[in-house]
């Protein structure tokens, strides 16, 4: 009888073949799992520096759109209206600074007014009153337009006197019936606060005093992120037939066929042109604003205003430059009459209003900031007018 400890050539061959088979199976399984692995999951591998920079850039961009969770929508329909794109935040430190400045009342003379006072981000970027309350309870001359989606406008303010958001941001600070301060005062205030100086130097890669250009730039860059994508109408543009109702779709058809899209089209449904308010009939108002005429001095520009956006229109009442119309249905009927020479039926008005409400998008997610404190070197606010007897 043979000794069991002796080598058996046949068994050794079988064991060797089995080992090779197991090894190949393991390799095959690894390959299959790598192929089936969901996008975004990866194995720890060595990459060169250029590839790492690309990945880092992509991750940063993907994670930087902090004020919305909406996915980008691409229109699949041939319509004069375009979906609002999702905006990636590429300069987060400047955006954070702008967010802080937006709520900082020290930008005003009284220390009681901020950008958010007239453009409340909890109210669609407006204050929902006919004209804003300014310094010393001054009555503003015109209705505060929404700041949401203002990055898509050809100019800022109703009369278009500011060419961009940065120029716009500096205006209210010095306006005597708005924040009633001065650029020089605001610069002194912010430079007296060490945390602000550190943040500005980091954001703008500088090592000096804060400037008014940096201040207005930070506010403008923050405003640039205030977009409202993913409205139900945008979802319909993207191919979702169930995103809007039959009534809302009919309202859009009436809106389009009656000529509203001549001025209210594109991404913002407005903000891209100046038009005379009161084409077929004069608009009756006590408001003294004369529109572009105040900027150009041309007689033809009297009562010519920047066309307002219709995005989030159900949130941004009261309507028109004088803020005298609180009802969206009434606003629709007035526009039909004086701009298009058309009397809408009650059903048409109801359907158009239903369509307009589909334009409300995801509101920006805003962090209410904790502001750095003033100190003994910070210029004091003047909340009350001092009178002399």
Using DSSP's 3-state secondary structure scheme, residue 10 falls into helix
Selecting among 178, 223, 248, 348, the annotated active-site residue is 178
> Is the pLDDT score of 243 beyond 70?
yes
What pLDDT, on the 0 to 100 scale, is given for residue 13? 45
How much is the average pLDDT of 214-223? 98
CA distance linking residue 2 with residue 6, whole number of Å: 8
Q: Where are the alpha helices (DSSP H) in the chain?
A: 9-36, 49-64, 92-103, 115-118, 165-174, 183-191, 194-204, 212-224, 232-237, 246-257, 293-296, 328-340, 346-356
Confidence of residue 32 (pLDDT cuts 50, 70, 90): very low
CA distance linking residue 152 with residue 307, whole number of Å: 12
What pLDDT, on the 0 to 100 scale, is given for residue 66? 53
What pLDDT, on the 0 to 100 scale, is given for residue 69? 64
Within 13 Å, how many C-alpha atoms sit on residue 334's CB side?
16
DSSP state of 322: T
What pLDDT, on the 0 to 100 scale, is given for residue 197? 98
> Is the pLDDT score of 346 beyond 90?
yes
Exposure string (b/e) for 319-344, b if CB count within 10 Å is 16 or more? bbbbbbbeebeebbbbbbbbbeebeb
Mean pLDDT score of the chain, rounded to an integer? 87
DSSP state of 304: E
Q: Which two tokens stand for residue 17?
A: 């073949």
In the chain, the percentage of residues whose pLDDT exceeds 90 is: 80
How much is the average pLDDT of 174-179? 97
> Is the pLDDT score of 237 beyond 80?
yes
Number of neighbours of residue 247 by Cβ within 10 angstroms: 14
> Of 6-15, 86-95, 342-351, where does mean pLDDT reach its minimum?
6-15
CA distance linking residue 321 with residue 140, whole number of Å: 11
The answer to whether 53 is a known catalytic residue is no
What pLDDT, on the 0 to 100 scale, is given for residue 387? 59
What pLDDT, on the 0 to 100 scale, is given for residue 30? 37
> Is the pLDDT score of 240 beyond 80?
yes
> Of 43-57, 83-97, 145-159, 226-240, where does mean pLDDT reach its minimum?
43-57
CA 368-373-378 angle, 5° bins: 130
What pLDDT, on the 0 to 100 scale, is given for residue 385? 79
Confidence of residue 1 (pLDDT cuts 50, 70, 90): very low
> Residue 252 contacts by C-beta under 8 Å, 6 or more apart in sequence?
233, 244, 355, 358
How much is the average pLDDT of 306-314? 98
Using DSSP's 3-state secondary structure scheme, residue 119 falls into coil
How much is the average pLDDT of 324-338? 98
pTM over 0.75: yes
DSSP-based helix, strand, coil % in the chain, nearest 5:
45, 5, 55
Confidence of residue 27 (pLDDT cuts 50, 70, 90): very low
How much is the average pLDDT of 273-294? 97
């Amino acid at each position: 009888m043979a000794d069991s400890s002796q080598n058996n050539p046949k068994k050794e061959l079988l064991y060797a073949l089995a080992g090779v088979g197991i090894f190949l199976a393991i390799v095959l399984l690894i390959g299959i799992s790598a192929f089936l692995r969901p996008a975004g999951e990866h194995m720890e591998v060595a990459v060169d520096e250029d590839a790492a920079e690309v990945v880092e850039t992509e991750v940063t961009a993907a994670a930087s759109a902090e004020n919305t969770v909406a996915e980008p929508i691409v229109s699949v329909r041939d319509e004069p209206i375009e979906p609002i794109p999702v905006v990636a935040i590429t300069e987060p430190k400047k955006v954070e600074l702008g967010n802080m400045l937006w709520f900082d009342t020290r930008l005003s003379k009284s220390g009681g007014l901020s950008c958010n006072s007239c453009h409340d981000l909890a109210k669609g970027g407006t204050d929902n009153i006919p004209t804003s309350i300014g310094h010393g309870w001054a009555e503003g001359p015109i209705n505060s337009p929404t700041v949401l989606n203002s990055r898509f406008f050809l100019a800022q303010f109703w009369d278009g006197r500011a060419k961009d958001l940065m120029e716009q941001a500096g205006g209210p600070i010095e306006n005597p019936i708005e924040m009633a301060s001065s650029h020089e005062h605001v610069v002194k205030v912010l430079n007296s606060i060490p945390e602000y100086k550190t943040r500005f130097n980091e954001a703008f890669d500088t090592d000096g005093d804060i400037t008014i250009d940096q201040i207005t730039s930070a506010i403008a860059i923050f405003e640039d992120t205030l977009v409202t994508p993913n409205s139900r109408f945008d979802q319909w543009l993207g191919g979702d037939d169930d995103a809007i109702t039959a009534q809302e779709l009919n309202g859009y058809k009436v809106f389009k066929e009656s000529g509203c899209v001549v001025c209210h089209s594109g991404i913002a449904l407005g903000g891209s042109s100046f038009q005379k308010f009161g084409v077929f009939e004069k608009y009756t108002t006590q408001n003294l604003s004369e529109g572009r005429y105040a900027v150009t001095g041309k007689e033809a520009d009297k009562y010519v205003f920047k066309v307002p956006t219709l995005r989030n229109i159900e949130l941004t009442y009261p309507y028109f430059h004088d803020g005298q119309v609180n009802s969206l249905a009434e606003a629709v009927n007035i526009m039909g009459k004086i701009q298009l020479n058309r009397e809408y039926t009650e059903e048409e008005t109801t359907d158009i209003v239903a369509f307009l409400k589909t334009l409300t998008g995801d509101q920006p997610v805003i962090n209410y900031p904790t502001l750095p404190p003033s100190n003994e070197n910070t210029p004091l606010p003047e909340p009350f007018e001092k009178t002399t007897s």
